[in-house]
Amino acid sequence: MVPVVLLCVRIPILSDRVRLMLSRVLCASLALFVTIGTGTSRADGPFPPHKIADNTYYVGSQDLATYLITTPEGHFLINSGFEETVPLIRDAVQTLGFKPTDVKYILASHAHSDHVAGHARLKELTGAQVLVMQGDEEVIRKGGEGQYLYTDQRWLPCPVDRVLKDREKLTLGGVTLTAHRTAGHTPGCTTWTWRTTDRGRPLDVVVIGSPNVNPGYQLVGNTAYPAIAANYAATFRRLHSLPCDIFLGAHGDYYKLPAKHATLKTSDVNPFIDPQGYTDYVTFKEKAFREELTRQGGTISEPAVKHSFFIAGPTFTGIIGEEGEELWNAGQPAARDGYVLPNGNVLIAWGDEVRELTREKEVVFRYRKSAENAELGTVQRLANGNTLITELGKRPRLLEVNPAGEIAVECPLLPETDNAHMQTRMARRLPNGNYLAPHLLAFKVKEYTPQGKVVQEFATDLPELGGRPAENWPFTAIRLKNGHTLVNLTHGNKTVEFDPQGHVVWKVGNDDFPELKPFADPCGGQRLPNGNTVIASYGTQGPIKVFEVNREKQIVWKYTGPHRAHEIQVLTTNGEPIEGDPLK
Ligand SMILES: [Zn+2]
């Protein structure tokens, strides 16, 4: 039998690299216990198995994370830990009421001993297929042989049933996992994402493969792994682009498992929902990578940002490609709002009609404005299959229209003006079932229950924003994953982020770009998963029609083509699709 590395240290903030360094030291002695500081315990000692969200469970050890994703047709299991971790995983699965033999797929975070040395045992136990990302398959097949840096480590070799490609999707029993190749830590390091629910709320899960640069990793002039630095840089771009509500990782310490687990029973909210924690962690790890790269004398040239995007605008409604070319034209300009749907169809609101069009321009859904009102504003396809539409006029209202074209929900709006055109724009339904509606002349964004009760208001005429004279008419209101609300203020030429109490936590406007002055009646907007904001300058007389600004208020992309935009939707960045529901 191949000697197996046993790593038995538990320090809450122990990094992959310290573990691996220790594992190399420990390899010779096969020591079972190491005492560090005051505690004696094992990183692969037992930890209470627990539910994270619907169909998503933790069945790993104290720090070596293993996840069980259950479906009616069998289960996914991510990571096996060490060979010695496998009985513990088996017991955890059974404790939660599931059968190890129902596991159909064994997956991995990356081919280091602490995540995959137990694969062969686990495969034997479950009869499941082992699927591995391209780049890590040989190391798993050969039980550790061929690893970068850890050349002396060996464990039980495990047959690999299938090699995965970047972004490959695995579907079982109605659940789809996506494998993101996030290489650098290993060439096939994999970040897993899927959609789950918690108390009825849809949530995006991310299990980070590993963002860590281990001690001894050579980022510059590495002949054993020439692409290592470029791989890390691409990994951070990908991690920043993933929508995340539930933040998980290959080790529990990535996401502070012990602290979150300790509050599981007493907390009203699910402690694993931590979008800010995810963003902060990825940012922190990227900084560490870049500092180490600089220390080693390396640099990375970032590719220029290119987007393809949908425009609902006065001269063109359709899709623009990454080179500025027209990819698809709806054939009728002057649309006000719209979405490219996950099935590829395009849902568009014109002033008098909403239509969902296939790319061949077949109409598959239609709603015409009621006779009593003056115009239509918003359109949004909802998770329940209904379409959210606003009507402006004598009876300003939000409607949910079902697929048959019938009104399923009607919610009266309180825009505080009879001026139909200025009553509301870009209303959206929130994950909590309420609606968020910007009311231009009321200088307020209001959150309504489906019964029409206003439960929250954000004032846009605050003294710090210039008061009423600034004419901050709210046009777009986007509820962010962290609970903040991003608002484009047309006429006032600002984009402002409010916290739940209505305080301004971030703003950007022409004062930040005294030369360029890119804000000209900002109408539509979008918050990208990387935290940047895309703004449509509807009223521009200059070249910049749409632009992207980062948190540090630098413009990182601009569209200077012929068409102005009322609303936009970024679809791809440098050839990669924007993941998740667009925040716009
Ligand atoms: Zn590792």
To the query of whether residue 115 is one of the catalytic residues in this protein, the response is yes
Residue 365 lies in a domain: yes
Residue 203 lies in a domain: yes
Residue 1 has pLDDT above 50, yes or no: no
Query: pLDDT tens digits, residue range 275-324?
Result: 999 999 999 999 999 999 999 999 988 889 999 999 999 999 999 999 99
Distance 16 CA to ligand 1 centre (A): 5
Average pLDDT of the segment spanning 37-65: 83
Residue 28 has pLDDT above 80, yes or no: no
The length of the chain, given as a count of residues: 584
Instruction: Categorize the per-residue pLDDT at 21 as very low, low, confident or very high, splitting at 50, 70 and 90.
Output: very low
The CATH number that applies at residue 290 is 3.60.15.10
Q: Is 39 helix (H, G, I), strand (E, B) or coil?
A: strand
Please give the pLDDT value at position 2.
31
Residue 483 lies in a domain: no
To the query of whether residue 251 is one of the catalytic residues in this protein, the response is yes
Q: Is 355 helix (H, G, I), strand (E, B) or coil?
A: strand
Residue 496 makes CB contacts below 8 A (sequence gap 6+) with 460, 465, 472, 486, 487, 489, 504, 506, 507
Please give the pLDDT value at position 168.
97
Please give the pLDDT value at position 482.
87
Write out the residue range of the structural domain in which residue 366 sits.
Answer: 337-424
Based on the fold, state whether residues 33 and 168 are members of the same structural domain: yes
Based on the fold, state whether residues 145 and 288 are members of the same structural domain: yes
> Which of 507, 502, 511, 518 lies closest to 555 in space, CA to CA?
518
> Which of 387, 395, 401 lies closest to 338 in space, CA to CA?
387
Contact 148, 20 (CB under 8 A): no
Based on the fold, state whether residues 154 and 225 are members of the same structural domain: yes
Residue 463 lies in a domain: no
Query: pLDDT tens digits, residue range 511-532?
Result: 999 889 999 999 999 999 989 9
Average pLDDT of the segment spanning 152-174: 97
> Which of 152, 12, 127, 19 lies closest to 77 in space, CA to CA?
127
Distance 537 CA to ligand 1 centre (A): 45
Average pLDDT of the segment spanning 357-366: 97
DSSP state of 64: B
Residue 11 has pLDDT above 90, yes or no: no
Q: Which amino acid is at 332?
A: Q
Residue 38 has pLDDT above 50, yes or no: no
What does the mean pLDDT of the chain come to?
A: 92
Residue 471 has pLDDT above 70, yes or no: yes
Average pLDDT of the segment spanning 415-427: 94
Beta-bridge mates of residue 349: 337, 354
Based on the fold, state whether residues 365 and 420 are members of the same structural domain: yes
The share of the chain scoring above pLDDT 70, in percent, equals 93
Distance 451 CA to ligand 1 centre (A): 51
To the query of whether residue 240 is one of the catalytic residues in this protein, the response is no
Based on the fold, state whether residues 56 and 124 are members of the same structural domain: yes
Please give the pLDDT value at position 481.
87
The pair of structure tokens assigned to 256 is: 């502070």
Number of domains in the chain: 2
Based on the fold, state whether residues 277 and 164 are members of the same structural domain: yes
Residue 445 lies in a domain: no
Residue 571 lies in a domain: no
Structural domain ending residue among the three candidates 382, 401, 424? 424
Please give the pLDDT value at position 300.
87
Average pLDDT of the segment spanning 217-237: 96
Distance 185 CA to ligand 1 centre (A): 6
Q: What is the C-alpha separation between 495 and 465, in angstroms, rounded? A: 10
Which of 119, 180, 185, 439 is flagged as catalytic?
Answer: 185
Which of 44, 57, 115, 198 is flagged as catalytic?
Answer: 115
Ranking 222-231, 289-298, 541-550, 573-582 by mean pLDDT, the lowest is: 573-582
Structural domain ending residue among the three candidates 400, 424, 448? 424
Q: What is the C-alpha separation between 16 and 45, in angstroms, rounded? A: 17
Based on the fold, state whether residues 369 and 283 are members of the same structural domain: no
Query: pLDDT tens digits, residue range 390-406?
Result: 999 999 999 999 999 99
Based on the fold, state whether residues 280 and 351 are members of the same structural domain: no
Burial of 181 (0-12, 13-18, 19+ CB in 10 A): buried
Distance 273 CA to ligand 1 centre (A): 24
Which of 16, 44, 63, 114 is flagged as catalytic?
Answer: 114
Based on the fold, state whether residues 363 and 230 are members of the same structural domain: no
Residue 85 makes CB contacts below 8 A (sequence gap 6+) with 44, 60, 61, 64, 66, 118
To the query of whether residue 110 is one of the catalytic residues in this protein, the response is yes
Residue 22 has pLDDT above 50, yes or no: no
Which of 75, 112, 439, 484 is flagged as catalytic?
Answer: 112
Query: pLDDT tens digits, residue range 239-289?
Result: 998 999 999 999 999 999 999 999 998 999 999 999 999 999 999 999 999
Based on the fold, state whether residues 286 and 395 are members of the same structural domain: no
Give the CA count within 13 Å in the CB-facing half-sphere of 98: 30
Average pLDDT of the segment spanning 216-238: 96
Instruction: Categorize the per-residue pLDDT at 42 as very low, low, confident or very high, splitting at 50, 70 and 90.
Output: low
Cα dist. 529→204, 238, 436 in Å? 12, 10, 20
Residue 177 lies in a domain: yes
Query: pLDDT tens digits, residue range 548-570?
Result: 999 999 999 999 999 999 999 99
To the query of whether residue 112 is one of the catalytic residues in this protein, the response is yes
Structural domain ending residue among the three candidates 358, 392, 424? 424
Residue 515 lies in a domain: no
Region of residue 331 (phi > 0: left; psi between -120 and 50: alpha; otherwise: beta): left
Residue 377 has pLDDT above 90, yes or no: yes
Query: pLDDT tens digits, residue range 130-154?
Result: 999 999 999 999 999 999 999 999 9
Based on the fold, state whether residues 287 and 354 are members of the same structural domain: no
Contact 576, 241 (CB under 8 A): yes
Instruction: Categorize the per-residue pLDDT at 7 as very low, low, confident or very high, splitting at 50, 70 and 90.
Output: very low
Based on the fold, state whether residues 352 and 264 are members of the same structural domain: no
Contact 158, 130 (CB under 8 A): yes
Residue 14 has pLDDT above 90, yes or no: no
